[in-house]
Structure 1
Amino acid sequence: MDTAKTTFPDPKMGEPFLLTPGPLTTALSVKEAMLRDWGSWDGDFRAMTKSLCDQLLALAGDVQGDYACVPMQGSGSFAVESMIGTLVPREAKALVLANGAYGLRAAETLRVMGRAVSVIDKGDYLPPCGDEVARALDADPAITHVVAIHCETSSGILNPIPEIAEAVRSRGRKLLIDSMSAFGAIDLDVTRIPCDAIVSSANKCIEGVPGFGFVIARMDALEAAKGNAHSLSLDAHAQWAAMVKTGQWRFTPPTHVVAAFLEALRLHAAEGGVAGRGARYARNRDVMVAGMRGLGFETLLRDRWLSPIIVTFFTPAHPNFAFPRFYDLMKAKGFIIYPGKLTVVDSFRIGCIGRMDETIMRRVVAAAKESLAEMGVDDATPPAAALAERNRLAD
């Protein structure tokens, strides 16, 4: 894709860039797609839903028709709960791989449902590896399912899904992947990465708007899941069965969001699909991280674990630095950043995804430099203790 020919929002137009892991900055044409009303029962909208599902299955690499796409109303967490609650039977036991808030949330979701759960918690700095998963599965034959986070956005870490998937497959267990913030930009091909299901959301790397998530699940797993769900409205099996029979969503769908998502899928394909989208995000990350380090900021993670989705930075040690003030100054310059979501160190996050390119990321760095000057911060170096702790845990 020639990025020079791609239209990105103009920061002078008054709409701030969302440097978050979603909702994110969207293209004008995605916004414009929501200007028409649709009847949820109408044949035209049923065709839109089918097109949406077909395109998502193609992105997942399902060339044999072994999988089904089940869109689910609500936020990404609704879709994660739908996947887990439908595909993990009530008598089963799940192993959750956690290295941040979203893995811990998946474990809490299972507990609320009354499912048996164990957790491998790696903290904020490191990914779970295939060998650790293999040992845990060998030690506990009661575990039937493994839940893994593709990109843990509380830290920005990209987890090694292929080696985790192989460890799970080789031991005859079932893998459920929360690819909420990675699907569409990081390769996740079900022909090479065996899994029972993937879950993601409209307002992430496809660059749509919030309103629904989607579960891409093996059809045999869905067929076996009838009656598993703890919830009426979050029952992915029932949603799938209704769509097969009628082509409609069981409950009122977010019609405008679906229309916007189809336009977002068109732009995704025009950019070169997963490879093209991921390459732009990686350039965004590299330009932004280099610039922020040039100002003295340091990343929470070592370079080898940095995802192209979002990057976590340590809060500077300088006594004049206060994140709320920094946030307000960045917002005034047209950039909405994200607070930290860690318990062990003070941090903040800057997203790399959305309708932005490396030119925009250079403006982000310039805005950060100006904001530091306005705060009277001449050194953005993090506390020595925080760096020492990172180095101790990450090595």
Structure 2
Amino acid sequence: MDRQYKLLTPGPLTTTRSVKEEMLFDHCTWDDDYKAITQRIRADLLELAHCDPQRYTAVLMQGSGTFGVESVLTSVVGRKDKILLCTNGAYGERQMEICEHAGIAYEQYSEPYGRIPDAAEIARRLDTDPTITHVSMIHSETTSGILNDIEAAARAAKEHGATFIVDAMSSFGGVDIPVQEWGIDFLVSSANKCIQGVPGFSFIIGDTAKIKASRGTARSLSLDLWDQWNTMETSGGKWRYTSPTHVVLAFAKALDEMREEGGIPARSARYAANNRMLIARMTTLGFGTYLPAHQGPIITTFLYPRGVAFDFADMYAAIKERGYAIYPGKLTDEDTFRLGNIGEIYADDIRRVTCIIADYMAQRGLLAPASGFADADEAGTAMDRAEQAAR
């Protein structure tokens, strides 16, 4: 089997060969050229976030996206503070785990996985509990693929003087987020998501004054947000501890390629078109979507087809053998699987993988009971029509 397959996941995702090739170069962490690359990345991130560099800053943090989230939560929520965690999926619930481990006072506002948190309910909780000083929410909750309304939530937080934190792990770069305009105080994302780099570091776009005010608050040495920011500021882009140099070089190249593609508007349009096409074609095959509303353009949760002996592991292996890797479901109340459409994924990939699924269903005798089509060719024609209608 060819080991080179494409990832239909929310990240890590399929990257370009040119991004991978940047990692062939070895760099010193203290070298001025390397520090200049770090500084350029920080400036580019602020530009993508529509932030005034006089008010906001960007901090790069070693580790996965969760490291960045934990850095913010454990660095800016003080020992006398309390945070409202708005959850509707596993990644919001992971923030609860972080708070419990770190001894951070929190309140959970939970919605079902298929429903977005309500800004009015956030406001009500802030009204009734004046001890809440911070509010946190996931933007693209990849548990289900739902896209939460962070603009309305930020407005509610600001009206009550609360600091607003956003986990935009799988959305930043693929969905336009005017951080400063919306009043987001801290946004966290990762190198291996919509910027289309590789795993190895996260980044925080934050209100500089609030980062300065957090000095001495951190509950972790290596994840101290203020100390990481201060070192980068005073040392011209130096990371405190050993940085993932190869990953940083790849990310800088990924930023260049994003700019060449047309920036966030072009990338967002490609992802959204991929997503519409994917849903139209999969629905034609008999795979309904989990979400009734608020479907994001990053990843889609599909229900197992009804009335057939569907085996996800068997389908996964068949699809991977033909060049694509998909995602199992992360829900507990439904049998589901997920298909992402970000990264170096284009319309031809969506058509190809859905045709592979149609072939698989036909070979296993599942196609006719699930969708009513006699064979994969008939299903392919119907998917083409559905794709045209969805454009």
**TM-score above 0.5:** yes
Q: Is the 8 A contact 2:46 2:53 kept in 1?
A: no
Tell me the alpha carbon deviations over residues 95-143 of structure 1, each in whole angstroms, 9 at most, x when there is no partner: 0111100011112211111011111111111101211111111111111
2:251 maps to 1:265: no
- 1:25 counterpart residue number: 14
Q: Which residue of 2 aligns with 1:339?
A: 328
Instruction: Tell me the equivalent position of 2:216.
Output: 227
Deviation readout 1:216-262 (Å, 9 max, x if unpaired)? 11111110111111111111111111111212101110000000001
Cα distance in 1 between the residues matched to 2:221 and 2:370: 50
Match of 1:47 in 2: 36
1:305 aligned counterpart, secondary structure: coil
Bigger Cα displacement from structure 2, 368-377 vs 146-155: 368-377
Quote the offset at 1:49 in angstroms.
0.4
Which of 290, 298, 322 is 1:300 aligned to?
290
Backbone CA RMSD of aligned residues = 1.3
Question: May I ask how many residue pairs the two structures share in their alignment?
Answer: 369
Query: What is the alpha-carbon distance in structure 1 between the residues aligned to residue 313 and residue 343 of structure 2?
Result: 23
Conserved? CA contact 1:298–1:313, under 8 Å: yes
CA contact (8 A) 2:289 2:302 kept: yes
Match 1:368 to one of 357, 364, 371: 357
Task: Give how far 1:201 is off.
Answer: 0.2
- Separation of aligned partners in 1, 2:251 and 2:2: 23
**Aligned sequence identity (%):** 45
Query: What is the distance in 1 between the residues matched to 2:72 and 2:53?
Result: 22
1:1-395 map, 5 Å:
15-246=4-235, 247-302=237-292, 304-378=293-367, 379-380=369-370
Farther-moved stretch of structure 1 (203-212 vs 267-276):
267-276
Question: What is the CA distance between 1:163 and its match in structure 2?
Answer: 0.7
Q: Quote how far apart the aligned CAs of 1:277 are.
A: 0.7
**Alignment partner of 1:368: what SS?**
helix
- Measure, in 1, the Cα distance between the counterparts of 2:118 and 2:54: 30
Q: Indicate the SS of the match to 1:213.
A: strand
Task: Give the deviation of 1:14 after TM superposition.
Answer: 5.4
CA contact (8 A) 1:239 1:249 kept: yes
CA distance in 1 between partners of 2:255 and 2:145 (Å) = 24
1:374 Cα deviation after fit:
2.7
Structure 1 unmatched runs, 5+: 1-11, 382-395
Question: 1:53: Cα distance to partner?
Answer: 0.5
Displacement of 1:28 in angstroms is 1.0
Which whole-Å CA distance do the structure 1 matches of 2:132 and 2:338 have between them? 34
Cα contact 1:320–1:376 (8 A) shared by 2? no
Contact preservation (8 Å) 1:90, 1:115: yes
Residues 320, 375 of structure 1: 8 Å contact kept: no
Take 1:301 and 1:373, find their aligned partners in 2: how far apart are those partners? 26
Q: Secondary structure at the match of 1:191?
A: helix
User: What amino acid is aligned across from residue 119 of structure 1 in structure 2?
Assistant: Q
Indicate if the aligned counterparts of 2:85 and 2:136 stay in contact, CA closer than 8 A. yes
Question: Is the contact between residue 318 and residue 377 of structure 1 (CA under 8 Å) also seen in structure 2?
Answer: no
Moved over 3 A (4+): none
Residue aligned with 1:311, SS? strand
Name the amino acid aligned to 2:186: A
* Consecutive unaligned residues in structure 2, runs of 5 or more: 372-391
**Secondary structure of 1:289's match?**
helix
Structure 1 residue 364 displacement after superposition: 1.3
Cα deviation, residue 368, structure 1: 1.0
Instruction: Give yes or no for contact 1:148–1:177 (8 Å, CA) kept in 2.
Output: yes
**1:176 alignment partner AA:** I
